[in-house]
């Protein structure tokens, strides 16, 4: 399973290509997150005191019928209004301004991470009163404290009991499975040099 930058993924597949199929199917089945054939570019690098060069065609050949590409469907594509009155487009414009100032690239995981931090912040905020009812304060929380398990239970209960529309979609939790992902996953493969959709998965299908 590969969750890495395009540069690192290209190096990995180039290295695999030069290992005389040792690191390719059927010995290995590669799973790439958020990658397509268009991401592959000619690459040249050194590793283990050897120099490797791969053309785009060789990188694609390394994945031919041997790799799976996963693409998460994000419900923000329909630009819904969140529970806090903003839209995904408004969030992304602000997000892009911030990453441009730091001279880094945007990431498809920006919105889910934003919602993850927001979900935790809401759970902590909603835990203040229940914690006080038990004689605790948020400032009391310590990982090495003998009482932290009781406090964690309160915080988790607030997380499970709260749902909202975030910039990445509907954010819902339950005590059995944790995060309930309302988004689907498109599954692609390189078949005869083309990126073909071979399956779609969602928790409701």
Dihedral, CA of residue 6, residue 9, residue 11 and residue 17, to nearest 10: -130
CB 151 within 8 A of CB 140: yes
Sign of the Cα torsion 135, 136, 137, 140 reads positive
Question: In angstroms, how far is CA 55 from the centroid of its own chain?
Answer: 28
The reported pLDDT for the residue numbered 12 is: 82
The reported pLDDT for the residue numbered 179 is: 65
pLDDT beneath 50: ranges in the chain: none
The reported pLDDT for the residue numbered 203 is: 63
CB 65 within 8 A of CB 191: yes
- Indicate the pTM of the whole model: 0.59
Q: Which two tokens stand for residue 188?
A: 């692609």
The reported pLDDT for the residue numbered 125 is: 92
The reported pLDDT for the residue numbered 95 is: 86
The reported pLDDT for the residue numbered 114 is: 85
d(CA 116, CA 204): 22
Read off φ and ψ for residue 15, nearest 5 degrees.
-60, -45
Cα within 13 Å of Cα(150), Cβ side: 12
The reported pLDDT for the residue numbered 23 is: 62
Q: Which two tokens stand for residue 136?
A: 């605790």
Helix 110-133 and helix 148-160: axis angle, to 10°? Answer: 120
d(CA 143, CA 149): 9
Read off φ and ψ for residue 171, nearest 5 degrees.
-110, 110
């Amino acid at each position: 399973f590969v969750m890495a930058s395009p540069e690192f993924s290209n190096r990995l597949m180039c290295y695999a290509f030069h290992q005389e199929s040792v690191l390719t199917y059927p010995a290995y089945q590669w799973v790439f997150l958020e990658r397509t054939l268009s991401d592959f570019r000619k690459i040249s690098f050194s590793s283990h005191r050897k120099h490797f060069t791969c053309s785009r065609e060789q990188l694609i050949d390394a994945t031919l019928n041997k790799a799976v590409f996963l693409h998460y469907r994000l419900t923000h594509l329909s630009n819904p209004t969140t529970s806090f009155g903003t839209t995904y487009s408004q969030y992304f414009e602000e997000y892009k301004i911030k990453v441009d100032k730091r001279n880094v690239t945007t990431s498809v995981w920006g919105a889910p991470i934003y919602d993850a931090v927001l979900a935790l912040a809401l759970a902590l905020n909603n835990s203040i009163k229940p914690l006080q009812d038990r004689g605790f304060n948020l400032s009391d929380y310590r990982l090495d404290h003998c009482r932290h398990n009781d406090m964690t239970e309160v915080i988790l209960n607030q997380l499970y009991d709260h749902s909202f529309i975030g910039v990445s979609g509907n954010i819902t939790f339950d005590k059995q499975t944790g995060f309930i992902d309302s988004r689907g996953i498109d599954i692609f493969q390189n078949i005869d040099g083309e990126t073909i959709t071979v399956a779609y998965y969602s928790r409701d299908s």
